[in-house]
Structure 1
Amino acid sequence: MAEHDFRYSMLNPQHTLTECRTLAPGRYQVTGNGGSIHEGDQLLVTLKGSKSLYMRLNVEKVRHLINPPGQWVAVAKGPVFDELIIHEWKVNCDSCSTELTFEFSVESKLGAKAQKPAAAARIAELGWKAEGDKHYCRKCQAQPS
């Protein structure tokens, strides 16, 4: 089992995704070029409309195409959601004023009430700490108070 990084990048255009579409909740059809994809592998795929968010897909079946060379079509399992809305917010460190611009996703049916918890979880993933309404970057967390 291997992990293949197909997140959007201008650095490796030979190793790209052509399409990722939903077949059913939690099941996806992925078409790509490059890599040596096999059943049981994992694919990291950029979320549509995002610069930095991605999802992890587990390949169930793969078919390698003859033409064009290197192209393949896979069926994969992944996260179950109806529709995600990508938000971009900014926070400042309350100690040193460093600014963090970050993206996070929220299921559309959950509405605005789900935005703050999703943003807090994303900030924590990025290594920042939130205490009430205050936010602290990694550098300021490491400094003794």
Structure 2
Amino acid sequence: MAEHDFRYNLLNPEHTLIECRALAPGRYQVTGNGGSIQSGDVLLVTLKGSRELSMRLQADKVRHLINPRGQWVAVASGPVFGELAIFNWQVKCDACQAQLDFEFAVDAALGKKAQAPAAEARINELGWRKQNNRHLCPQCIDKEVA
């Protein structure tokens, strides 16, 4: 099992994602070029409408096309959501006032109540922490620990 990175920010023309579309919640059809994809491989793909968010898909079936050479189509499994919504939020460090502009994704069907927990999970992924209702950047977390 190999991992293949098809995120847009890599801009690698020999290894590109052509299309990724949902077939059903948790099932995706991915079309790409290059990478020698096999069943069981993991594909990292950028979320549509996002600058930096990606998801991991596991290729279940792969069909390599004869023409155009190097192109393939895979059916993959991944995160289950009804309708994905991407939000851009900002948070300031309460110690040094550093600002973090970040994106996070949430299932739109879960409504507004799901946004804050998803945002907190995302800032934790980015190294920030919320302690006693204060947001702290990674540098200030290190200062408090030391």
Common topology (TM > 0.5): yes
- 2:50 equivalent in structure 1: 50
Q: Which shows bigger deviation, 2-11 or 59-68?
A: 2-11
Q: Kindly report the root-mean-square deviation, in angstroms, between the aligned alpha carbons of the 2 structures.
A: 1.2
Gaps of 5+ in 1: none
- 1:141 equivalent in structure 2: 141
Query: Match for 2:57: what amino acid?
Result: L
Gaps of 5+ in 2: none
Q: CA deviation at 1:10?
A: 5.2
Output the TM-score relative to the length of structure 2.
0.94
Q: CA deviation at 1:136?
A: 0.5
Output the TM-score relative to the length of structure 1.
0.95
Q: Does 1:131 align with 2:131?
A: yes
- Judging by fraction of residues, say which structure has more helix: 2
- 2:2 equivalent in structure 1: 2
CA distance in 2 between partners of 1:86 and 1:65 (Å): 33
- SS of the residue corresponding to residue 114 of structure 1 reads helix
- 2:62 equivalent in structure 1: 62
Query: Match for 2:85: what amino acid?
Result: I
CA distance in 2 between partners of 1:129 and 1:60 (Å): 36
Q: CA deviation at 1:112?
A: 1.0
Pairing 1:1-145 to 2, within 5 Å after superposition: 1-9=1-9, 11-144=11-144
- Percent identical: 66
- SS of the residue corresponding to residue 9 of structure 1 reads helix
Q: CA deviation at 1:22?
A: 1.3
